[in-house]
Structure 1
Amino acid sequence: MDENLKTNLYAFIEYIQVERNYSEYTVKFYRQDIENFFMFMAEQGISKLEDVEYFDARLYLTKLYEKEYSRTSLARKISSLRSFFKFLMREKTVKENPFTLISQSKKHLKIPKFFYEEEMEKLFEVCQGNSTLDFRNLSLLEVLYSTGIRVSECANIKLSDIDFDFETIHVKGKGRKERIVLFGTFASEALNNYIKNARPLLMNKTDHEYLFVNFRGTPLTTRGIRHILNNLISKAALTGKMHPHMLRHTFATHLLNNGADLRTVQELLGHENLSSTQIYTHVTKEQLRKTYLSHHPRA
């Protein structure tokens, strides 16, 4: 655990033990809940508590729902984190409490944010260029959008995991689970170009099998990928801030909007339960209009 995270956790534990006089049982579970959230932060490439946003808190709640905790357990976990960030605000460690507006009621979960196809085109456009980093960024964006894999899974891809003949990638997912994901011709072309013309130059005398590397030649971390994606959205002049998980949301949304069945999307996303995939069954207004015009006899 990062030393800064550990320091803030210990300060909070001391606070609820001494000032709030919480029971040993309550302190134990508060500590466990917060440490689990720290693991989530690491998966998302978030290293600082002040960088946690409302979107991150909501995504974490979604992940808790996927694990099918009881309503009581969910309420306690959210309460633990809300109290923790309230304490951090008091200590002036953070400016806002991202868990203030989080409700443990499932019906309040909002539709995941995603990019429209026109927005994705703008992101691809800003990756066009002839530098080694342009080739890498285009390849990275194509892989994330083409496969729907998690950023943590993307960071762990090795050259030997890619099969260009069948256009598949062997992915090591959460809980050491493995699956095969597909990628298309655009991603294949971008990957080939990056591996042949950019990666060797970026490696800078380093030697490892990881696919995506930074300008020093060392493997890209989840935090590094997050930074790259935020730079791309800034260059594309799109409103808001990109969360890496938005590309996963976009992958699933575009597949479903274009006729893919829910079971196929579940398999591609690596979800154990279909209920986890059903959050993506929303459709865009444009898709609703197309469906209405093509199916209603009086349209």
Structure 2
Amino acid sequence: MPLRIAVQMDPLETINIAGDSSFALMLAAQARGHSMFHYDVHSLSYDTSEGAGGRLTAWAAPVTVKSVPGDHFARDEYRLIDLAVDVDVVLMRQDPPFDLGYITGTHLLERLAGTTLVVNDPVSVRNAPEKVFVLDYARFMPPTFIARRLEDVRRFHAAHPGELVVKPLHGNGGKAVFRIPEDGSNLGALTELFGQVWPEPFMVQPFLPSVSEGDKRIVLVDGEFAGAINRKPGEGEFRSNLAVGGSAEAARLTVREEEICAALGPELKARGLVFVGIDVIGGQWLTEINVTSPTGIVAIDRFNGTDTGAKIWEAIERRHAAM
């Protein structure tokens, strides 16, 4: 049955269709006969003046998409739509930062429970930020420390001598990830900077030399393995994110990675996290569980000849039919 879908994402004008996972999902939805609206999270509004409950609306435009660079979408006039009445599925795909604006959006979308399916589930997205949810699986992680005081970080460094990596707790795309030399010479200045820029603590881990072999992005759909790519750092870089110049290559899972997927899968499915990307370094170290706006399916499908977008929509269709 065709579904009416509202895609909550960044402006269509700004995306790179060659690698954008949200655009790939829109193409896959359209190929399955579904119709789509596009809207910006900033246009959400909630009105209780009509009596019991409330009315969640957005200024949205009907859209169609095509794989033509520079002419990749057509948009009709914006209109006010009721997300509980006018659509069947909300696809929450706007990029982080995972800030109070993002969190408030999940609180509003949560109010659609029982009427409109939201993917990924907004409650689970709010309660499972990338670098916090992963702490539930510390047995698969490298030694990890979350703090904001320099004295505490130095204590961790003393226990794990060598180079460190420091990163924002709610960052994305490899932004503001720093490599600290073995002597910790710039640790004080960096701790001060993080404390001034971000209100939350930051994450510290030993630098893993195996990152030179790649940082694998593994995609799970409704808890099941759907594909993987290995992302290798560009020249002069230690970060392997494609957004900062990393390159992708085909990949298979190691035994350890299969174990990680098997451990995570049931919990992801139970939480309504339909499209998830996990990051594993050196075939063994789990570093993130990406649930807000996971990427990687375009490269995975290019290397493997798969259609991950179709798998995701099959899972969404099953969930909608079971409502």
Could you state the TM-score of these two structures normalised by the residue count of structure 2?
Answer: 0.30
Answer 1 or 2: which has greater helix percent.
1
Could you state the TM-score of these two structures normalised by the residue count of structure 1?
Answer: 0.32
